[in-house]
Structure formats: C-alpha cells, structure tokens
Amino acid sequence: MFLPKQQQKALAEDKVSDKKSAVKNDNAIDKKTTNKKSLPSTDQDTITFAQLTDTFTKIEATTKRLEITDYLTQFYKQVILTKPEELLMTLYLTINRLCPDYEGLELGIGESILIKAVVESTGRTTAKVKEELKKVGDLGTVAQSARKNQPTMFKSKDLNVPTVFKNLKEIATASGSQSQTKKIGIIMKMLTSCNSNTNEVKFLIRLLEGKLRIGLAEKTVVVSLANAIVLSNNEDATKEDLERGVEIVKQVYSELPSYDLIIPALLDGGVDNLQERCHLTPGIPLKPMLAKPTKAVTEVLDRFEGRSFTCEYKYDGERAQIHYHDGKVKVFSRNSEDMSMKYPDLVEQLPRAIKPGVKNFVIDSEAVAFDKQTKKILPFQELTRRKRKDVKVEDITVKVHIFAFDLLYFNDKPLLHEDLTRRREMLSDNFETVEDEFAMAKSMEAQSTEEIQAFLEESVKDSCEGLMVKMNQGESAWYTPSKRSMNWLKLKKDYLSGVGDSLDLVVIGGYYGKGKRTNVYGAYLLACYDQDSESYQSICKIGTGFSEEMLDSHYKLLNPLEITAPKSYYKLGSAKPDVYFEPQAVWEVLTADLSLSPVYTAAAGEISERGISLRFPRFIRVRDDKAADDATSSEQVSQNIYI
C-alpha cells in the first residue's frame, strides 16, 4: 500500500525471522552465566519482599529478553533451593495474579483508594500526589519518591512474600460495608513496612493496581520457571536439557493453565514425565485455539488445496468451552472465566445432549441467542441483553443454543493430538441433537471455490458471520490451545467487501461532547496492545455513528474508569483526549482501511517509523469477553496493513 508489495513482504519476513530468533534465545539461557553465580544460602527464613522487588527492578531496567529470563531464572532457582513452598506465591506475584484465571479473584484496587493510602502514609496532600501523578503517570513511582523524602519514624519488620501474598488476597476478597476501611488499613500497614532504600513501595502500589508492568511477558515466566526447575535438579544441565524442559512446561501449561497444579508437580518430580502427571483435565479451562483471517475464498484454497479440509458455519455468539465431570457441567468463556452462573440454563439443558456411557468431556462450542418460535439464530446483540449476574433460569427470556464444533477430552482421555476428523466423529457419536438446544456446527466438505462461496452465502442467510475452514488430517489437524493457527481460517462476509477483519480495541481516552452531547463523551481514543512492550498504542479517534442511547451507556461504563493522568504505558503519540481511562473497555471496531499516520503510534517502527491508524472506524459492539490485553495486538495491526 505504501511500499512496493515486494518490499513490504521482505520487511514482514525479516520481522518474523527476528522474532523467531528472539524466541530461540529465550529458551536457551546461557549456561555459563547461569552456573557461575554462587548458590544462595539455605538458612533463610522466608523470601523477603525486597528480594522480589530487587528482581523486578533488574527486570524493569532492561529490555533484553535473555537478561530478563536470566534474572528470573536465578531468582526462582534461589526460591526452589531455599523455600520451595514459597515458589507458587512468588510466581503469582511475578505475574501479578492471586490464583488461576478461572477462579476469578482479581486485584485492581481503584486509583482513589490507593491515592488515599499514599496520602495517609506519606503525609503529602492529595493535591500534591495528584499533581505528581499527572507528571509521572505512575502512582507507584509517585509513592516511592514521596517515601524517599520522608524520615522513617520507626523500623517495622521486613515484608516477606507470604505476608504480601496473604494481604493481597485478603484485600481482593474483602467485601461488605467496612471493606474499604479494611482495605486501606491493610495497604497502610504494608506501606509503612516497606523499606525506603528499596523499590518495595513502588511495586507494592503497582501490584495493588493489578498492573505491574515491568516488561515481563508470561511466556518468559514459563521459560524461567522451567529453567529454574531443571537447574535446581542438575546444576550441569546442558542447553539441550534446558530447551527440553522449556518445551515440556510450555506444552503442559497450554493444556493445564494452572500453576496451582503444575508447580507442586514440578517440585515433586521435575520436568520428567510431567506430561503424564499434568494434562488437560475437565474442570480446568484451556486457552482456546484461534483462527487466522483470510480475505478471499481463493486464499483458503491457496492454503488448503489438495488437503482434506472442512468448512463449518461460523456462528456469531460467545465461545463456550463446556466441561463435564462427576455429573457437573461448567461453562467457560474465551477468556477462561467461569460462565456457569451467567448461563444456568445451559448448565441445565446440556445433559440432555449426552448419550449414555459418557463419563466426562470437554467440548468447544459457540453459544448463540436463539428464537424457539421461528427456529432462527438471533444476532449477537441479543445475547448481550442477557443479565450477567444472579441469573435465574425462570427469568431468562433470551434462549441460547449450543453449536458444538470440537471435542477436546472424552472419557478420561485428552484428544488434542487426534485428527479433527476423529474428534468430530466422536462428538457426533456420543452426543445427540436436542431441538432448540444443542447441535453440531453445520459443516461441509467443500472442494472448489464455487462450493465454498455457495456455502458461505448459505451461512450468511442462516444468520452466521461466515465460515471457519479447518484442516482435517495429520498433525495440522491437532487442536493447538491458545495458538492463532493457519490450520483454522476464518472467512467472514465482512472481509469480502474489502474491509478486512474487525479489530478489538481498548478505550484509553475520551473527548468531551459538544452541543447536545455535553453530558457525555462525544468521541473516544482507542488503542491496540503491544505485547512485547506491554503498552497500549493509540490507533484512532472514534466519534461518529453512536446513537444517544449508546453515548449514554458508554458514559455510564467509562466514567468510573476515569483516571487522573495517562498511564506511563500509554503511547499516545500526539493524540490529546480530554480525559483518560483505566485500560478496561474493549470495543470491536470495523474500518474501511488502515493507513500510516503522523498522529497515532500503533505498530510504529514495524512497517514505518510512523504509526498505523484506522480510516473511518465504525463501532460494532462491546467485547465483554475480552480483557484489555486480549485486544488486537500491534503485530496483528501491522500484518493487516497489507490488506
């Protein structure tokens, strides 16, 4: 579009190979540097919070993934050798979580509570703290520097990892009328225990915000954990041993994303036979497999011609991973959230589709709003009209229909490494269609462009978004959790009008409305997410096409998210909204085209020094099922510029 096609392609390939070598290095931690360092002493009582925050400080100071992996490996190794029982808590603190995603316990204390705690523990005025925050964009840094200039009145006991972890958990679970006071009390106590010669205050505040932001990707955590385990069992482990360990832990984690289960198993038996001890298990959601967009039927054939493939309807609802064991049904979202409370009707109706002899299973499916009278699939918007919490079966007006498209586990056996053909066969053999409730996704073994085109049109007539095209046989037909795979292609009707796939973007800023819109935001600043730098990069301003009702409801949702200053990890470029928001709301947006921009920063440095922007962005819907860091990545944006 802006460079000759050939050059664009070369650039893109360069980028890919760079990324590949970075990943390789990541796995191959330099053995010499690892072993040179002396072993830690073993008479330690507990892992101190300062040891953890020193590691954070080192990690934050570099962008080299190899160095980050090395620091973290050393630290985890030290924990394993001195206090293995504290490894799990230490790891949770490094990823700023308290438990696996599906348990739903979240940190993310509001800015106002934290400002209050900082004010009370440092003696600064609220105005002064806010002023500093405006300048720096990070409350942790503000609190840290306020602490530096404050004489310590008395020295309390050092904070340690178990205490911090326990306190954070208490804060996250506190509820009821006194909870705010209780939270502030715990926070204040921890803040006064922080040593001002370290960065404890800074990181404690960030942990409480639920936004550690030290440039540590979770894949680096997995790599470091594997390295630390291997090295703590064998100091002379070779590069190959380390690489093997990393592969095993990565694979196991993608099937069973629960450190609660993996860490005890690793401490107990190392990486050997980990796969036999930890694998996909009903009750624990795995990250779903994702598809690559294609923009023409011919592109599907370019990729799949001569291979066996299936076209399926692409239903427009909400992804539902259904788990069944011990007679109980659980439904998980795309994001591993437990949706069983939101869909009590699904939990009730699903057993009717199970044939006799079925003990347990994991099904991948789409839950769609459905009209029993007309037997028609309803648009996605109908699904969003359902209540989210305290849903009672008898009050439900919008019915859901399940369209199952995959079987990942069946009667005590993971099926991820079976062919898709086999998995679908088992699905249809062991489950039955229940009118208005449960069916297999409609599919067809198409061969030619004409057949695919005709099936695509049929899918649209049947209120679907288009097709999913999937490889049938061999390793390319395995189910690869959390991967955006070339073996699943999505072909949406939207693409055919030349606009490409929609983007899911984070609302980071708002512009005051004019005229009739003075009580609401009249326009919004959107951003994509850059996984490597953990930053949100501005991509466009969106302000047209909203109805009065929409503006009102966006205002109600966004106003409580207003913050004093842009976060330090917002890359705004020259965009200047009137207000900024916590990164939380995700919107699906369509665009006429992408173009290079002097204003916005999305994917800057990837294709050009300039960022990329959307032309004529159009709001489609709120994406409740995506967290801010699941938003469209800058890499996806830069790949899309070829469209």
Ligand X SMILES: Nc1ncnc2c1ncn2[C@@H]1O[C@H](COP(=O)(O)OP(=O)(O)OP(=O)(O)O)[C@@H](O)[C@H]1O
Out of 267, 290, 383, 434, name the contact with ligand X by CB under 6 A.
290
Q: Nearer to ligand X by C-beta: 133 or 291?
A: 291
Question: What 8-state DSSP symbol labels residue 464?
Answer: -
Three-state DSSP class for 622? strand
Angle among Cα 430, 481, 421 to the nearest 5 degrees reads 40
Q: Nearer to ligand X by C-beta: 400 or 468?
A: 468
Asked if residue 627 binds ligand X (CB under 6 A), the reply is: no
Which contacts qualify for 571-574: CB closer than 8 Å, 24 or more apart? 571/527, 571/530, 571/535, 571/536, 571/537, 571/538, 571/601, 571/604, 572/509, 572/525, 572/538, 572/601, 573/537, 573/538, 573/597, 573/599, 573/600, 573/601, 573/604, 573/611, 574/598, 574/599
* Per-residue b or e along 68-97, where b marks 16 or more CB atoms closer than 10 Å to that residue's CB: bbbbbbbbbbbbbbbbeebbbbbbbbbebb
Q: Nearer to ligand X by C-beta: 26 or 465?
A: 465
Q: Nearer to ligand X by C-beta: 255 or 504?
A: 504
Asked if residue 401 binds ligand X (CB under 6 A), the reply is: no
Least distance (Å) between residue 455 CB and ligand X: 12
One-letter amino acid identity for 164? V
Q: Nearer to ligand X by C-beta: 366 or 382?
A: 366
Least distance (Å) between residue 365 CB and ligand X: 8
Least distance (Å) between residue 355 CB and ligand X: 21
Least distance (Å) between residue 590 CB and ligand X: 12
What CA–CA distance (Å, rounded) separates 612 from 606? Answer: 10
User: In the window 22-51, what residues touch ligand X (CB under 6 A)?
Assistant: none
End-to-end CA distance of the chain: 8
Residue closest to ligand X (Cβ): 319
What CA–CA distance (Å, rounded) separates 36 from 510? Answer: 52
Out of 77, 334, 554, 571, name the contact with ligand X by CB under 6 A.
334
Q: Nearer to ligand X by C-beta: 75 or 409?
A: 409
For residues 28 and 227, the answer to whether their CB atoms sit within 8 Å is no
Out of 231, 252, 291, 469, name the contact with ligand X by CB under 6 A.
291
Least distance (Å) between residue 367 CB and ligand X: 9
For residues 184 and 118, the answer to whether their CB atoms sit within 8 Å is no
Quickly list DSSP for 188-212.
Answer: HHHHHHS-TTTTHHHHHHHHHHT--
Question: What 8-state DSSP symbol labels residue 38?
Answer: P
Q: Nearer to ligand X by C-beta: 368 or 575?
A: 368
Q: What is the dihedral of CA 475, 476, 478, 481, to 10 degrees?
A: 130
What CA–CA distance (Å, rounded) separates 504 from 123? Answer: 42
Q: What is the dihedral of CA 567, 573, 579, 582, to 10 degrees?
A: -30
Number of C-beta neighbours around residue 383 at 10 A: 17
Out of 101, 132, 366, 418, name the contact with ligand X by CB under 6 A.
366
Using H for helix, E for strand and C for coil, what is the string for 265-323? HHHHHCCCCHHHHCCCCCCCCCCCCEEEECCCHHHHHHHHCCCCEEEEEECCCEEEEEE
Least distance (Å) between residue 627 CB and ligand X: 12
- Region from 81-89, 112-120, 312-320, 564-572 binding ligand X, contact rule CB under 6 A: 312-320
Asked if residue 312 binds ligand X (CB under 6 A), the reply is: yes
Count of residues engaged in binding ligand X, rule: CB under 6 A: 15
In the chain, the largest separation of any two C-alpha atoms, in whole Å, equals: 79
Q: Which residues contact 573 (CB under 8 A, 6 or more apart)?
A: 537, 538, 597, 599, 600, 601, 604, 611
Asked if residue 399 binds ligand X (CB under 6 A), the reply is: no
Q: Nearer to ligand X by C-beta: 492 or 610?
A: 492
Query: Token pair 């590949």 is at which residue?
Result: 20
Out of 76, 309, 343, 405, name the contact with ligand X by CB under 6 A.
405
Compute CA distances 367 → 259, 430, 489, whole Å: 29, 19, 20
- Region from 192-200, 313-321, 354-362, 471-479 binding ligand X, contact rule CB under 6 A: 313-321
Q: Nearer to ligand X by C-beta: 136 or 496?
A: 496
Out of 274, 468, 520, 539, name the contact with ligand X by CB under 6 A.
468
314 is catalytic: yes
What CA–CA distance (Å, rounded) separates 63 from 80? Answer: 26
Asked if residue 83 binds ligand X (CB under 6 A), the reply is: no
Least distance (Å) between residue 335 CB and ligand X: 10
Least distance (Å) between residue 190 CB and ligand X: 37
- Region from 86-94, 111-119, 245-253, 286-294 binding ligand X, contact rule CB under 6 A: 286-294
Query: Token pair 């790949």 is at which residue?
Result: 639
Q: Nearer to ligand X by C-beta: 334 or 541?
A: 334
- Chain centre to alpha carbon of residue 484: 13
Q: What is the dihedral of CA 51, 52, 53, 55, to 10 degrees?
A: 90
Three-state DSSP class for 473? coil
* 314, 490, 492, 541: the active-site residue: 314
Asked if residue 319 binds ligand X (CB under 6 A), the reply is: yes
What CA–CA distance (Å, rounded) separates 421 from 308? Answer: 10
Q: Nearer to ligand X by C-beta: 132 or 316?
A: 316
- Region from 79-87, 285-293, 374-382, 505-513 binding ligand X, contact rule CB under 6 A: 285-293
- As separate numbers, helices (DSSP H) first and strands (DSSP E) second, the chain gives 23, 22
Least distance (Å) between residue 255 CB and ligand X: 18
Least distance (Å) between residue 468 CB and ligand X: 4
- Region from 84-92, 191-199, 246-254, 310-318 binding ligand X, contact rule CB under 6 A: 310-318
Asked if residue 418 binds ligand X (CB under 6 A), the reply is: no
Instruction: Give strand pairing partners of 150.
Output: none
- Region from 13-21, 235-243, 288-296, 410-418 binding ligand X, contact rule CB under 6 A: 288-296
Out of 315, 370, 546, 587, name the contact with ligand X by CB under 6 A.
315
Least distance (Å) between residue 501 CB and ligand X: 6
Least distance (Å) between residue 263 CB and ligand X: 29
- Region from 78-86, 255-263, 311-319, 602-610 binding ligand X, contact rule CB under 6 A: 311-319
Compute CA distances 376 → 379, 434, 461, 599, whole Å: 10, 15, 11, 45
Q: Nearer to ligand X by C-beta: 253 or 315?
A: 315
- Region from 140-148, 207-215, 275-283, 306-314 binding ligand X, contact rule CB under 6 A: 306-314
Q: Which residues contact 510 (CB under 8 A, 6 or more apart)?
A: 521, 523, 524, 525, 558, 562, 577, 578, 579, 580, 581
The pattern of x and - marking residues 424 through 453 that bind ligand X according to CB under 6 A reads: -----------------x------------
Asked if residue 490 binds ligand X (CB under 6 A), the reply is: yes
- Positions touching ligand X (CB under 6 A) are 288, 290-291, 312-315, 319, 334, 366, 405, 441, 468, 490, 504
Q: Tell me the catalytic residues.
A: 314
